[in-house]
């Protein structure tokens, strides 16, 4: 792989959106960078690690040794969306890939992202598949229920997008940057804007990353933030799908959660096998979806009160 070049085909942005600034976060970054160094991509590529100014003095000195040619960009913003937007502005590639630091990309990830964008000129962005590496049933179920929402069960257009592993035509990203005023779980707002502009978000299940799984404390944190984002984004943008339910007030939580559970059941049937769920494990996954989706309710209530999602490792 050619690291950098006069005209990189793709700029890859790595951002730590979970447990930033700690030893765990730096360890995640090292693993993400090592995975980028092992890519089988043969075209020029640019790699940008974007971090907040507050951590300038804490950045480990060995990161550039993990991925030679790495550019480290420091910005005043603190949220993951602010960092990603700033890095997109600084990037120079035709395509822009975003990889969260707690994800390890397969060696063919960049090659497939670029090929998919070239093969589908109607697509503004291409998302890959996120899985958890552990084999325990509870972790496989969590992987399915938390990561399959973008997965139509095959390659094709998707209504949602994941920031774990996605590549854009950079001009499309710059025209529709991540919304920095809606919290950290608002990527569906960008996806909606892309669809409204006439573009397509494409899903390719052959593009895969392994997402670190730190147990059920991470799952609770994720779900609380996801519930908060569901409500807050629709309070701020009433044109989003199903925003009329939010206008009902807190009573709207019941049908929203019911719809999420129903959607999870569909994902179990549609995608279960692709996330390692055997047919006889589907009842357990569908039962677990009830409790897992209910974990979003505290975040929803906080959004209705005008509060943040609470203490969180997400930024």
**First-to-last CA distance in the chain?**
31
pLDDT tens per residue across span 97-135: 999 999 999 999 999 999 999 999 999 999 999 999 888
Compute φ and ψ for 215, nearest 5 degrees: 95, -175
Q: What is the pLDDT of residue 215?
A: 86
DSSP 8-state code for residue 212: P
Compute φ and ψ for 295, nearest 5 degrees: -65, -15
In order of their start, the domains of the chain are: 2-214 (3.90.550.10), 217-304 (no CATH)
pLDDT tens per residue across span 220-243: 999 999 999 999 999 999 999 999
pLDDT tens per residue across span 132-156: 988 899 999 999 999 999 999 999 9
CA 152 to chain centre: 16
Q: What is the pLDDT of residue 2?
A: 56
pLDDT at 172 over 90: yes
**Which residues on adjacent β-strands are paired with residue 126?**
167, 202
Q: What is the pLDDT of residue 214?
A: 86
Going by C-alpha positions, the residue among 246, 257, 193 that lies closest to residue 223 is 257
- Burial label for 205, CB within 10 Å (0-12, 13-18, 19+), is middle
pLDDT tens per residue across span 21-44: 888 889 999 999 999 999 999 999
Structure tokens at 159: 């209504």
Other CB atoms within a 10 A radius of the CB of residue 122 amount to 9
* Helices (H), ranges, the chain: 23-37, 63-66, 80-90, 109-119, 137-147, 170-175, 187-196, 216-236, 243-246, 253-271, 282-294, 297-304
pLDDT tens per residue across span 180-227: 999 989 999 999 999 999 999 999 999 999 999 988 899 999 999 999
Q: Please state, rounded to an integer, the average pLDDT across all residues of the chain.
A: 95
Helices 137-147 and 216-236 pack at an angle, to 10 degrees, of 10
Half-sphere exposure of residue 296: CA atoms within 13 angstroms, side-chain side = 23
Q: What is the pLDDT of residue 21?
A: 83
What gap in Å lies between CA 164 and CA 103, rounded to an integer? 7
């Amino acid at each position: 792989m050619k690291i950098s070049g006069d005209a990189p085909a793709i700029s890859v942005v790595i951002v730590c959106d979970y447990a930033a600034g700690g030893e765990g976060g730096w360890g995640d970054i090292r693993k993400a960078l090592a995975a980028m160094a092992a890519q089988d991509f043969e075209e020029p590529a640019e790699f940008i690690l974007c971090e907040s100014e507050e951590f300038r003095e804490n950045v480990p000195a060995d990161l550039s040794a993990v991925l030679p040619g790495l550019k480290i960009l420091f910005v005043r913003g603190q949220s993951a969306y602010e960092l990603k937007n700033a890095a997109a502005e600084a990037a120079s590639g035709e395509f822009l890939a975003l990889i969260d630091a707690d994800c390890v990309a397969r060696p063919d990830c960049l090659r497939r992202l670029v090929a998919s964008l070239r093969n589908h000129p109607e697509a503004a962005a291409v998302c890959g598949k996120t899985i958890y590496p552990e084999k325990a049933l509870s972790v496989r179920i969590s992987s399915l229920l938390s990561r399959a929402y973008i997965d139509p069960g095959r390659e094709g257009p998707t209504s949602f997008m994941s920031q774990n592993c996605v590549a854009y035509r950079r001009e499309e990203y710059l025209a529709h940057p991540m919304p920095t005023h809606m919290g950290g779980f608002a990527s569906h707002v960008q996806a909606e804007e892309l669809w409204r502009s006439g573009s397509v978000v494409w899903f390719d299940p052959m593009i895969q990353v392994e997402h670190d799984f730190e147990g059920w404390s991470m799952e609770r944190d994720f779900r609380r933030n996801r519930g908060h984002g569901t409500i807050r984004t629709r309070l701020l943008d009433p044109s989003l799908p199903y925003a009329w339910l939010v206008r009902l007030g807190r009573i709207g939580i019941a049908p929203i959660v019911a719809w999420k559970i129903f959607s999870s059941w569909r994902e179990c049937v549609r995608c279960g096998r692709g996330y390692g769920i055997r047919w006889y494990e589907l009842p357990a996954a569908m039962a677990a979806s009830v409790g897992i989706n209910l974990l979003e309710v505290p975040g929803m209530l906080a959004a209705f009160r005008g509060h943040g999602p609470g203490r969180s490792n997400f930024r």
